[in-house]
Amino acid sequence: MYNFLFYFLIEVFGVLFMILSFGTVLIYFIIMILSALEMRDFRRKNRFADYQDIITSPIAPGVSIIAPAFNEAANIVQNAQSLLSLHYGKFEVIIVNDGSKDDTLQKLVDSFALVKTAFAYNPDIETQAVRGVYRSTNKSFRRLIVVDKENGGKADALNAGINVASMELLACIDVDCILANDSITRMVRPFMEETNRKVIAVGGVIGIANNCDVQDGTVTKYRIPESTLGRFQVIEYFRAFLMGRMAWSRVNGLMLISGAFGFFKKDLVKAVGGYFPKTVGEDIELVVRMRRYMEEKNQKYRVAFVPDPLCWTEVPEDESVLSRQRNRWMRGTIETLQLHRKIGLNPRYGFFGMVSFSFWTIYEKLAPILELMGVLYTLVLILIGDFSAVYFFALLTMIYLLSLLISVFSILYEQITYNNYKDKKDLRRLIWIILIEPFVLHPKVVLWGLRGHFDFIMGKGGWGKMIRTGFKTAEDKKNIQTQTGV
Amino acid sequence: MKKILIIEDDLLISSLVQFRLKKDGYETLILKDGNEGIKAIDEENPDLIITDVMMPFRSGIEIIHHARKEKPDVPIIVLSSLGEEEEVVLEAFNLGVSDFIPKPFNPNELAIRVKRALR
Amino acid sequence: MNGMKKTKVLFPLLFLFFTAQGQEIDSLFSDSLQLQQELIRQENISNLSYQFRLMEEPSSELDSLFDFEETDSGWVSPKETDWAKLDSLHGVFVGYNPSLEYVIYEDIADQGGLENYLQTLIRTGDFVPGFDPNSNKIDLVLEASKDVFRPLHEYKLRILADYKLFWVTIIVLFFLITAALMITSMLIFKSQRNKRENLKKEYDELIIGPLTSLLFEKDLEEIKQISKLDLVEIFPEKLFDKPLFKQVMIERIIGLNKKMKGEFKDKLKAFYKATGLMDITRRNLKSKRWDIITTGLVQVNEMDLSELLQEVKKHTNSSNFHVRSQSGATLLNVSSTVNLDFLRDQKYPLSEWQQMNYLRIIKFVHNTKSLELDKLFRSENPSVRLFGIKLVRMLGRLDLLTGLKELSTKASDEEKIELLKTYETIGAHMEVDFINSCIQSENQELQLEAVKVAGQLGDEKSLQLIIGLFAHNPDFELKKSLMRSMYLLNPETFERYTKDQFSEEIVRIRAHILDPLLTHV
């Protein structure tokens, strides 16, 4: 009897893995084709784009840039300056000092001649206490607003910024990322262009600034990072932005807008109650909740994506930092999917619920677990000497080839659209990384993901109870006391 | 014969300018990017430099800097695209260029300005 | 998601497969006699032998025949592998009662074990069951009814046993074929692109020289007279028939036109028309691809091809955003008498992007060309009406206020908000009644805007309305707006209503309004 059960399980797993590998191959081919089509259309559209009068036009919407800062004293002044020098007509820069323990605030006050104002703070979205709102006495810094508040984490700081923001659009960014001068004009375009559907959010490409030359807020010379981990992330970012996001934006299925660089419609962010400070994945969670809101209100909407290179950031090249980052991403994903599990496979949420959500569940959340099981399964097959182990070896080889193909194509896409990495030596190095990635780096990523799962189960971070019950509707967040019981 | 450097990435523009200036009897040399331009300033001993602002590799501002340092007496005429920011224009004038011609421009007008600058 | 559905189908299938196997084991042979007959018929089966066991001591005669081995449970004969001998050997045991034992490898098996073993052999193909035709002489029909129906038994087993191989092969093949297709198409794409780029460079060189000399050496009238025959002399022969060559030429001329002034611009335009490049533009306008149509529209716009305006007009209601936007811009730019009918009759909502482009052009031409902007107020399309209201504000056209007043009587709330903004910007004090009526609106957004505008343009009645609203303890946003307008209209009233207040909120907002650094926040 046990014998029979064992073999039965082996059979079931065999079928499951076969379906999974077939699905993976199919899905990634579809993604590659969709992203190629999107790339083609984007290039065609850009031929006719004329950004010359968006800076001065009174029709262009105002933008509130919100940058939370926590212990950033070293670079905060320089970062604020580069934000203030962006080329756009109607915008304000809101820097939120999230209870820094260093002299971030003092540095800002000194450099920009700030004084504490009598600003009547309206906690439309609940946040930690705001200690003061600062503005400059110097006219040339009139765009700058500094909010000083008690520490509450990134999402909480962003919420405080949203409460203070006075413009129609929000640009939520990491204070230390490098923005191109024309980044606002480019990101605002999708909001201005669409008429049939409401554009609720726009995401951008994040480039890797490690080892590159930066001049006046733009990367002038591209070089790939020195370390293998850094180089690996270059390819990873190509894949994520030039393939993944491109393809999903074509079918309006984007679930994630990177927290380092995202634009949102303010009225909608407020309607859903802002960022949810109890999750470590506040960026993906907000987009999911906004989409859910639009679906629940039966309104046509779109989450757009701008593939122009506009934002660069330093990625961690240190293994322990990177592993913590990936662990956090995984927990954020699990928490978000958990909070909104009502959406999953629910036809009421259309394509978003049926396809995007399921894809994320299988290929982002469960991927490390499935991979681990796949490896164990193959090992078991080999141990019991089952002949079908050979087939599964064939499948594994195929998945390896698939990963090569995807990575090579993503580099090709980069060459066709940007052609930033001009040095042939750099390209050869990247190809080498592609070859070794599945053996050397990928297992680490899987491991970090598994640790994320483990930490989630152990209830590290996040807000256990709430996440277990989930949101009943997109607006549910507003009814929840997020500030108590910390 | 006076020698004029034309540093401009749009070949059609530079060849138009060259054609017009040849008619007035100048010797001209076309350089298609900033790097070539800087090299030519060092090696060619020009009597006048016409340069664009937005160019691959090195900006016109860098070229003006270089020319001011190496050949302080050679007049410079800047040929710039419409919509170039005021700061750039101001910076160019601060560096001591002799003339600033915004595009769209008329090659005949340019020829007159060249004559004036060389006087 | 699809995977989930598939597994649901596959589970029952799998289950069926297993139960089907179980039934086969039970019914392979109806009884032990049939089994033995089958074994005899097969004569030899790998690793399967048999032996006899006697419970009583065999006679010496019997023992000499078999050489029995004595064990705890009786006397056992040596193993025999030739099943054909079974019957003759059995005949020797006269007077004894031997039991027949099956031995697989070295182990004794019962009938069930043996059948399992045979089953495995059937699967690997080492054992092909069949029936002795002689044994079926009795009753074919009866025998057949005993036999379970097994259609194409062998094939079914082979495919099902190897279903993994089957699917893995399909998947790998699918992968290889698609990957190969994608790589080839990418390679083709790249090489075509490179070829085009190279050709373009080559053509570029060929165009620059002749075009330059043409622009300097021929005057405008001469260029207008150029015929296609002359072109052959100017440019290398044959090339002018190549579409790519013409395309490069068009790009160069348009690029140059943007950067040239005065007579050169006129010469370029004349050249464009004389050389028949306009036919390409016309063909572009009739294309099915949106990007080609838009390219054509840009060409009309840049080269002032007023001859093609009729074609352009056809695209103003295109379903493609780029096409209808660009055709509108072209119409505004190129036609000498701009007729805004096309904009008024626009079916699709005007996007902000379009509004921005049109605003730029209208700003440029509204002083020189007579635009009947009030046409827009009468549009059926709400977004066009909104744009009309915005235009009054952005162009500062006070002469259109009467048109706005007319519109305001039947305006939607959204239009009213836009009207309020416009009145505020151009300082339309005479519309204070309209503002006051908006303050009393149920629509919060409209009310908020009206309160704000009343701060600039309000009268005594507005102030009374504001005080009335303030008394009802409104939400934070409205309260702030009310207090600011109150302050702007009459600082004394503001003092009276907000000083020495117990409400912490009012105290904070009061401080906010009085802070000189926050005048516009």
Residue ranges of A 127-186 with Cβ closer than 8 A to chain C: 135, 137, 166
CB contact under 8 A, C255 and B10: yes
Summarize pLDDT for A93-142 with one digit per residue, the tens. 999 999 999 999 999 999 999 999 999 999 999 999 999 999 999 988 99
CA distance C424 to C418: 10
Between A334 and A11, name the one with better pLDDT: A334
Using a CB-CB cut-off of 8 Å, the residues of chain B touching C213 are 19
* Tokens at A292, concatenated: 């859910």
The highest-confidence range among A434-443, C1-10, C270-279, C364-373, by mean pLDDT, is A434-443
Among the partner-chain residues B20, B103, B104, the one whose CB lies closest to the CB of C216 is: B20
| C52-80 mean pLDDT | 80
CB contact under 8 A, B12 and C255: yes
Task: Please report which residue ranges of A346-388 form alpha helices under DSSP H.
Answer: 350-351, 357-359, 367-383
Using a CB-CB cut-off of 8 Å, the residues of chain B touching C262 are 106, 108-109
Summarize pLDDT for B80-95 with one digit per residue, the tens. 765 555 666 777 777 7
Task: Please report which residue ranges of A57-182 form alpha helices under DSSP H.
Answer: 76-84, 104-112, 154-164
| C129-146 mean pLDDT | 56
In angstroms, the separation between the Cα of residue B39 and the nearest Cα of chain C is 24
Region of poorest pLDDT, from A8-12, A453-457, C284-288: A8-12
Using a CB-CB cut-off of 8 Å, the residues of chain A touching C508 are 118, 120-121
Q: Identify the band that residue A363 occupies on the pLDDT scale cut at 50, 70 and 90.
A: very high
Does A216 have pLDDT greater than 70? no
Farthest-apart Cα atoms in chain A, separation: 84
A304 interfaces chain C, CB cutoff of 8 Å: no
Spans of all domains in chain A: 1-49+188-486, 51-176
B8: part of which helix (H) or strand (E)? Answer: none
Q: Which chains touch A (3 or more CB pairs under 8 A)?
A: C
**pTM, full prediction:** 0.79
CA distance A426 to A431: 9
Using a CB-CB cut-off of 8 Å, the residues of chain A touching C521 are 119, 166
CA distance B3 to A472: 78
**Structure confidence at residue A393 (pLDDT):** 76
Q: Which chains touch C (3 or more CB pairs under 8 A)?
A: A, B
**Structure confidence at residue C132 (pLDDT):** 45
Between A212 and B97, name the one with better pLDDT: A212
CB contact under 8 A, B108 and C262: yes
**Structure confidence at residue C444 (pLDDT):** 93
| A175-191 mean pLDDT | 92
**Residue of C352, C426, C448, C503 to mutate for A, most A C-beta atoms under 10 A:** C352
Among the partner-chain residues A8, A25, A44, the one whose CB lies closest to the CB of C174 is: A25
Residues 6+ apart with CB under 8 A from A88: A55, A60, A63, A184, A185, A188
**Structure confidence at residue A481 (pLDDT):** 65
**pLDDT over 70 percentage in chain C:** 87
Using a CB-CB cut-off of 8 Å, the residues of chain A touching C511 are 118, 120
Region of poorest pLDDT, from A242-256, A391-405, C381-395: A391-405
CB contact under 8 A, C352 and A14: no
- How do strand A301-313 and strand C107-109 relate by DSSP bridges? unpaired
- In the three-class reduction of DSSP (H, G, I as helix; E, B as strand; rest coil), residue C289 is classed as coil
Summarize pLDDT for A297-336 with one digit per residue, the tens. 999 999 999 999 899 999 999 999 999 999 999 999 999 9
| C496-506 mean pLDDT | 85
Does A269 have pLDDT greater than 60? yes
Between A256 and A53, name the one with better pLDDT: A256
Among the partner-chain residues C168, C172, C359, the one whose CB lies closest to the CB of A59 is: C359
In angstroms, the separation between the Cα of residue C259 and the nearest Cα of chain B is 4
Spans of all domains in chain C: 26-161, 416-521
- In the three-class reduction of DSSP (H, G, I as helix; E, B as strand; rest coil), residue A293 is classed as helix
CB contact under 8 A, C259 and B81: yes
User: What is chain C's percent helix, strand, coil content, to nearest 5?
Assistant: 70, 5, 25
Superfamily classification of domain A51-176: Spore Coat Polysaccharide Biosynthesis Protein SpsA; Chain A (3.90.550.10)
Calculate the CA dihedral of residues C449, C454, C455, C457 and round it to 10 degrees: 130
Using a CB-CB cut-off of 8 Å, the residues of chain C touching A50 are 357
Q: Which residue type is seen at C23?
A: Q
Does C150 have pLDDT greater than 70? no
Using a CB-CB cut-off of 8 Å, the residues of chain C touching B106 are 260-264
Domain C416-521 matching CATH 1.10.10: the answer reads no
- How do strand B3-7 and strand A301-313 relate by DSSP bridges? unpaired
C81: part of which helix (H) or strand (E)? Answer: none
Residue C282's CB is within 10 A of a number of other CB atoms, namely 16
In angstroms, the separation between the Cα of residue A354 and the nearest Cα of chain C is 7
Residue C26's CB is within 10 A of a number of other CB atoms, namely 10
Q: Identify the band that residue A48 occupies on the pLDDT scale cut at 50, 70 and 90.
A: confident
CB distance C324 to C318 below 8 Å? yes
CA distance A16 to C353: 49
CB contact under 8 A, A394 and C291: no
CB distance C88 to C36 below 8 Å? no
Does C153 have pLDDT greater than 60? no
CB contact under 8 A, B12 and C212: yes
| A17-26 mean pLDDT | 88
> Which residue of chain C has the CA closest to B104?
C259
Q: What does the DSSP 8-state code read for residue C77?
A: P
**Structure confidence at residue C14 (pLDDT):** 40
CA distance C195 to C322: 29
DSSP calls for C167-215: HHHHHHHHHHHHHHHHHHHHHHHHHHHHHHHHHHHHHHHHHHHHHHHHH
CB distance A467 to A460 below 8 Å? no
Domains and CATH numbers, chain B: 3-118 (3.40.50.2300)
Burial code of A111-141, b = ≥16 C-beta within 10 A, e = fewer?
ebebeebbbbbbebbbbbebebbbbbeeeeb
| A140-167 mean pLDDT | 95
Among the partner-chain residues B10, B15, B106, the one whose CB lies closest to the CB of C264 is: B106
CB distance C463 to C492 below 8 Å? no
CA distance C266 to C271: 8
CA C145 to chain centroid: 59
**Residue of B16, B105, B106 to mutate for C, most C C-beta atoms under 10 A:** B16
Opening angle at CA B71, ends B67 and B77, nearest 5:
55
In angstroms, the separation between the Cα of residue A45 and the nearest Cα of chain C is 8
Mean pLDDT for all residues in chain C: 82
CA distance A417 to A231: 19
Summarize pLDDT for C84-114 with one digit per residue, the tens. 877 777 777 777 778 888 888 888 888 788 8
- ipTM score of the complex? 0.88
Question: How many helices, marked H, and strands, marked E, lie in chain C?
Answer: 27, 5
CA distance C361 to A87: 22
The residue with tokens 């117990």 is C502
Does A376 have pLDDT greater than 50? yes
The residue with tokens 């001859």 is C307
Does C156 have pLDDT greater than 50? no
CA distance C162 to A14: 12
CA distance A123 to A103: 25
**Structure confidence at residue A101 (pLDDT):** 94
Residues 6+ apart with CB under 8 A from C207: B12, C235, C248, C249, C252
DSSP calls for C490-518: -HHHHHHHHTT-S-HHHHHHHHHHH-GGG
Summarize pLDDT for B45-56 with one digit per residue, the tens. 899 999 887 766
Q: Identify the band that residue C359 occupies on the pLDDT scale cut at 50, 70 and 90.
A: very high
Q: Number of B:C CB contacts under 8 A?
A: 45
CB distance C495 to C469 below 8 Å? no
Q: Number of A:C CB contacts under 8 A?
A: 141
**pLDDT over 90 percentage in chain A:** 69
The residue with tokens 């915008």 is A91
Question: Could you write out the three-class secondary structure of C362-402?
Answer: HHHHCCCCCCCHHHHHHCCCHHHHHHHHHHHHHHCCHHHHH
CB distance C365 to C332 below 8 Å? yes
| C493-508 mean pLDDT | 87
Residues from C in contact with B at Cβ < 8 Å = 204, 207-209, 211-213, 215-216, 252, 255-256, 258-265
Residue ranges of A 369-388 with Cβ closer than 8 A to chain C: 388
Among the partner-chain residues A14, A16, A193, the one whose CB lies closest to the CB of C321 is: A193
| A403-410 mean pLDDT | 93
> Quick one: which of B118, B115, B119, B107 has its CA closest to B47?
B118
| C253-257 mean pLDDT | 88
CA distance C51 to C80: 6
Using a CB-CB cut-off of 8 Å, the residues of chain A touching C359 are 57-59
Residues 6+ apart with CB under 8 A from A96: A66, A67, A68, A69, A146, A147, A149, A157, A158, A160, A161
Using a CB-CB cut-off of 8 Å, the residues of chain C touching A122 are 476-477, 480
**Structure confidence at residue C25 (pLDDT):** 42
In angstroms, the separation between the Cα of residue B8 and the nearest Cα of chain C is 13
CA distance A83 to A75: 12
Mean pLDDT for all residues in chain A: 90
- Output phi, psi for A9, to 5 deg: -60, -45
Residue ranges of A 404-463 with Cβ closer than 8 A to chain C: 405, 409, 412
CA distance B33 to C440: 65
**Structure confidence at residue C28 (pLDDT):** 65
* Tokens at A181, concatenated: 């001068």
C419 interfaces chain A, CB cutoff of 8 Å: no
**Structure confidence at residue A256 (pLDDT):** 93
The highest-confidence range among A44-58, A176-190, C263-277, by mean pLDDT, is A176-190
CB contact under 8 A, A398 and C172: yes
| A272-292 mean pLDDT | 94
C476 interfaces chain A, CB cutoff of 8 Å: yes
Residues 6+ apart with CB under 8 A from A274: A125, A155, A158, A159, A162, A286, A477
- How do strand B48-52 and strand B76-80 relate by DSSP bridges? parallel
**Structure confidence at residue B99 (pLDDT):** 84
**Structure confidence at residue C80 (pLDDT):** 82
CB distance A304 to A248 below 8 Å? no
User: What is chain A's percent helix, strand, coil content, to nearest 5?
Assistant: 55, 15, 30
Does A420 have pLDDT greater than 70? yes
Q: Identify the band that residue C246 occupies on the pLDDT scale cut at 50, 70 and 90.
A: confident
Q: Which regions in chain B score pLDDT beneath 50? A: none
In angstroms, the separation between the Cα of residue B44 and the nearest Cα of chain C is 24
